[in-house]
Amino acid sequence: MPRRDDIHKILLLGSGPIVIGQACEFDYSGTQACKALREEGYEVVLVNSNPASIMTDPETADRTYIEPLTPEIVEKVIEKEQPCALLPTMGGQTALNIAVDLAKNGVLEKHGVELIGAKLEAIEKAEDRLLFKEAMERIGVGVCPSGIANNLKEAKAIAQKIGSYPLIIRPAFTLGGSGGGIAYNKEEYETMAQGGLDASPVSQILVEQSLLGWKEYELEVMRDLADNVVIICSIENVDPMGIHTGDSITVAPAQTLTDKEYQRLRDYSIKIIREIGVETGGSNIQFAVNPINGQVIIIEMNPRVSRSSALASKATGFPIAKFAAKLAVGYTLDEIPNDITKQTPASFEPTIDYVVTKVPRFAFEKFPGSKPILTTQMKSVGEAMAIGRTFLESFQKALRSLETGRFGWGCDRKEKLPSLEQVRYGLRTPNPERIFTVGHGLMLGMTLEEVQELTGIDPWFLDKLAELLETSKFLKRTPLETLNKEQLWAVKRQGFSDHQIAFATKTSEDQVRQYRKHLGVVPAYKLVDTCAAEFEAFTPYYYSTYEEESEVIPSDRRKVMILGGGPNRIGQGIEFDYCC
């Protein structure tokens, strides 16, 4: 299908100020969309209120309105600009909610503005908890025992019908689980239910039976007008259900699914995106899997690019937001070329030969009195991503990237071990430091089975962490100068930093680096090419790992190195992304 020639001017909505649950990932998607649409010859009008974003740079859109993101203000922009279409799927939940309001109030119809990317019916079916539940039941995808409440009386009746606590409260049309949570008793439930009703713009909450301890997975899916569907990436949460995915350590691709289980999630995802009716663009679909019997339940679907879409784009090299914008104006996946290979189309699903780990960054120290306990309501303020050939390598690199003073998973500073009682509490209660508490528990003699029972973390991940602990013990009893090349290669391939090796061997980082280079143990740089080296890649997007062969071809040109700002935190956000 050729690009649409019946539309000429497109209105794009940003996501407004940075809030917990909605950060620079939507600046990334909005900027990609603006560039893609202008590349196709469309006039782009942008509304956003965040001055630190890249998308509000005068060069990004043809016209930019720095105005409050409210339906009333956007209506005035529509009256002035008279766009042909509105693309609401790049600005997170804020843009989606405004588009729904404008469509329902008749503003879009009055001015002849078409909703592209996702139709009103698809948005409502995905975001309205009751409509979504009914849609899933129609296609035979399991849903959690639940009920929809529009007031506190209905909420009490649902709790009585489900019959047991804990219960999960999920408000409709909100962001990052805002207003939701886990209620462990009647008093907590009634308080949270009322809070959720107040937080929802349509005064609606979904009350679900708890799936605490189930494994959580996400699939990034894209569909075009010809009904082609591709799976961009699978993402697995290290933490089990009960923690918002934005607050969980996540890994791509999924590590603990069997092929049969993965194919089932693929099949469900394709059925879901077709049933909901997202005709063009990307969607994020979240599943819960019972670790005992493999039962699959759908958690939710975002009919837009999301936080996970940005992660999946960087993890695979597949620009989801850019391609979603092109799909919205009529192209099909097989008509959009892959920028990295220049040979494969967007209908060619990415294949990756590495592991990506994302670790959230928290700022509870900035809010004295707030409890550092993680629930279904997102609380992290930023995140770091790392790429390695193995889970352990990318995991330890990601922990270093948080810039919180840690150089990996332990073995980086003197620590006084807490008591076994404190460790058990820290494992049972989700908190930002729980991944380090796992190490404390293993050092105190707890078995992997005990740790798994308290945390719900899959045994595969715990077994990998136990490998790190064994390597730490090996390093502590081995003088640096007795390590041979093969041993040092193995240690570095597990993601150990020179600082960790120096701490364990009672030497300095400089000594470790000098010895490592003397043995020829130096990093190589590999390409993120979307195809596991099946085709030649033309985009210079690299990661470091400890292997023999480097895929970087150095040039003789003069170069400048630019350092970014690292993960978002309070006091340092996307303004430095803009500067770079």
Instruction: Please give the pLDDT value at position 443.
Output: 95
A 10 A CB-CB count for 70 gives 15
Q: How confident is the model at residue 307 (pLDDT cuts 50, 70, 90)?
A: confident
Q: How confident is the model at residue 536 (pLDDT cuts 50, 70, 90)?
A: low
pLDDT mean over 337-345: 77
Q: How confident is the model at residue 1 (pLDDT cuts 50, 70, 90)?
A: low
**Residue 17 or residue 400, greater confidence:** 400
Q: Which domains does the chain have, with CATH numbers?
A: 9-116 (3.40.50.20), 145-209 (3.30.1490.20), 216-350 (3.30.470.20), 364-524 (1.10.1030.10)
pLDDT mean over 336-361: 86
Instruction: Please give the pLDDT value at position 175.
Output: 64
Closest CA to 169 of 141, 144, 135: 144
Model confidence at 311: pLDDT above 80: yes
User: How far apart are alpha carbons 42 and 59 in whole angstroms?
Assistant: 14
DSSP letters for 138-199: HHT--B-SEEEESSHHHHHHHHHHH-SS-EEEEETT-STTTT-EEE-SHHHHHHHHHHHHHH
Model confidence at 350: pLDDT above 90: no
A 10 A CB-CB count for 552 gives 12
User: How far apart are alpha carbons 267 and 252 in whole angstroms?
Assistant: 19
Average pLDDT, the chain: 89
**Residue 111 or residue 94, greater confidence:** 111
What percent of the chain lies above the pLDDT cut of 90? Answer: 55
Instruction: Please give the pLDDT value at position 177.
Output: 63
**Residue 110 or residue 181, greater confidence:** 110
Tell me the C-alpha to C-alpha distance, in Å, between residue 363 and each of 54, 393, 423, 569, 573. Answer: 25, 25, 22, 7, 13
Q: Where does 217-258 have alpha helices with state H?
A: none
3-state secondary structure (DSSP) of residue 477: coil
3-state secondary structure (DSSP) of residue 68: coil
- What secondary structure, in 3-state letters, does 351-404 show? ECCCEEEEEEECCHHHCCCCCCCCCCCCCCCEEEEEEECCHHHHHHHHHHHCCC
Instruction: Please give the pLDDT value at position 250.
Output: 96
pLDDT mean over 455-482: 96
Model confidence at 237: pLDDT above 60: yes
3-state secondary structure (DSSP) of residue 479: coil
Instruction: Please give the pLDDT value at position 576.
Output: 74
Enter the pTM of the model: 0.88
- Reading the block at residue 406, the tokens are 């840690």
DSSP letters for 483-499: --HHHHHHHHHTT--HH
